[in-house]
Amino acid sequence: MRADSIMPLRVETSPVVHIPMYSADGADDGTVRYMVQMLLTCLGSYFAHGNTYDVLVTTNDWRTLEVLIAYQAKTRYPFQLRLVTREQLREAFQTNENCLGDLTCMRTIFSKFFPIMTRPCDAILHVDCDTIFLRKVDLSPLFVSPIGVIDGSRFERSPLWSPTESQIDFLGIPTPVKPVARWMNSGVFAVQGSGFQLCQREVRHYLENVDRARADFLIHGNSDELIMNGLALKERDAVAVLPHYGYNFVAYYLKYDPAWTQHAQIVHFHSLKPDAYWYGDGVVRHRCDGIQAQRISEDFYLAVLMWFRYLHRACHALPFEFPMCSLMPLEIVEKELAKRGRAKVEIASV
C-alpha cells in the first residue's frame, strides 16, 4: 500500500536504529577493514548531527568488534555493541551450517534480520553501513505501518517491478500480480508490531528453501531485497511503500534533486561506493565500469567528499590502519569542499 493512503500507527516506543556489519566465512583482513571504515563513517555521521535514537551495532567478527570498542572508547558515543556468535545465529534463525556457511545469507539475511528475529525492542529501523546521515532525523514518518519500505528508486525510468515466475513460485506471491513500486533496495527499512512476525516468516521460508534459492540468481542474488519487495506485494495491508526517498537517498540519484542538500536525511551509496574516487599526482580521479560511469555526477562527488570527511574524523587517533583515508587525504577533501561554496557544503560542516 502507498503510505499516503493509510492512517499512521503510533510507535509505542522509540525505535532502535540497527547498523550491522557481518563477515562471511574466510573473509580476509582487508575486506573486513574496508567494511569497518564504512561502519565507522556511518556511526560518526549519525552522532555528529545530535541524533538521539538508541543505536544497536551487531557483528559476528571479532576484528570489527575490536575497532568498534576502540572507537567507542575514543568518542564515548552511546551505541550498544554486540558480538553475535555462530550458535546465536543458529538459534535465532533456526538454521544450519548449510546457510551459516553461505556468503549471501551471512551478509544480507543474518546481518539485517538478526534483531528482527530476536526482537530485543518493539520497533527497529535497519540502516546499511554504507550510508551517511546528513542531519538530525525524525523517524516517525517511517513507522506508519508494521513494515515500512522506502521507494528510493523513484528516479529510475524502469517500469514498476513485477516478479519472475520463479520468484512468484518461491515467495508464494498471489497472482495476478499487481505491482506497487519499482524495485526497492533494502538499505533502510522499518519494522514494528506484527511486522516482526511477517519478516520472521519470510526469512525462515527463505532459509528452509535456500538450495532452491541458489539455483536462481534472480532469487539468491537479491535475497534480502527480494524478501522485502515480495512482502510489499504479498502483505499490502501491512507494508507501506513510503515516498520519503530522502531517508534512503541513493547517492547516484542525487543529481535528480537539486535541493537534496536541504532535505536529504540519509544518503546511501549502494552499488557505487565512495572509493570510486581517489587522489594522486595532484588530481582527483574516479574509476568505475560503463554502467556506473553514467552515475557519476557533481552531486555524487559532493556526497563522496562529505563521506570522506566523516571517515577521517571517525578514524582519527585510532590505533589501526585505514587505507581509504589515504585515497583522499583530509586536506584534499577540505580543499575540494571549499571549492563548492558555503551554500552547498554547509551540511557537511557539522
Q: Which amino acid is at 55?
A: V
Q: What is the DSSP letter of 21?
A: B
Rg (CA), the chain: 20
CA angle 189, 297, 35 (to 5 degrees): 45
Listed residue (264, 256, 226) closest to 108, CA to CA: 226
Residue 316: the pLDDT is: 98
Q: Is residue 98 part of a domain?
A: yes
Strand extents, DSSP E, 44-129: 55-59, 80-83, 123-127
Beta-carbon neighbour count of residue 233 at 10 Å? 21
Helix (H) or strand (E) holding 20: none
Q: Assess whether pLDDT exceeds 60 at residue 2.
A: no
Q: What is the CATH number of the domain that holds 329?
A: 3.90.550
The whole-number pLDDT of residue 4 equals 46
Structural domain contains residue 136: yes
Count how many domains the chain has. 1
Over 70: is that where the pLDDT of 112 sits?
yes
**Class of residue 129 by CB neighbours under 10 A (exposed 0-12, middle 13-18, buried 19+):** buried
Q: Which amino acid, residue 197?
A: Q
State the average pLDDT over residues 222-250: 97
CA atoms within 13 A on the CB side of 273: 14
Helices assigned H by DSSP within 235-315: 260-263, 290-293, 298-315
- Close Cβ partners of 253 (under 8 Å, ≥ 6 residues apart): 152, 155, 245
Per the structure, the complete domain to which residue 144 belongs is given by 14-350
- Asked whether the predicted pLDDT for residue 342 surpasses 90, the reply is no
Q: Grade residue 287 by pLDDT with cuts at 50, 70 and 90.
A: confident
More confident residue, 346 or 23: 23
Give the pLDDT of residue 302. 97
Looking at residue 276, its pLDDT comes to 95
pLDDT for res 289 = 80
Grid cell 508494521 in the structure block, residue: 146
C-alpha grid cell, residue 254: 542525487
Parallel, antiparallel or unpaired: strands 123-127 and 188-192: antiparallel
Q: Which three cell numbers stand for residue 208?
A: 528452509
Supply the pLDDT for residue 5.
44
- Would residue 8 count as lying in a domain? no
Q: Which helix (H) or strand (E) holds 226?
A: helix 224-234
Q: Using the predicted structure, report yes or no on whether residue 10 has a pLDDT greater than 60.
A: no
Distance CA 183, CA 226 (A): 9
Confidence check: pLDDT of 78 > 90: yes
Mean pLDDT score of the chain, rounded to an integer? 94
Q: How confident is the model at residue 341 (pLDDT cuts 50, 70, 90)?
A: confident
Q: How far apart are CA 6 and CA 298, in angstroms?
A: 37
Average pLDDT over residues 106-131: 98
Q: Measured between alpha carbons, how far is 86 from 95 in angstroms, rounded to an integer?
A: 10
For 181-215, the pLDDT digits (tens) are 999 999 999 999 999 999 999 999 999 999 999 99
Looking at residue 171, its amino acid is: L
State the chain's maximal CA–CA distance in angstroms. Answer: 58
Mean pLDDT of 320-337: 97
Does residue 121 fall inside a structural domain? yes
**pLDDT higher than threshold 90 for residue 348:** no
What is the arithmetic mean of pLDDT over 81-110?
98
* Residue 211 belongs to some domain of the structure: yes
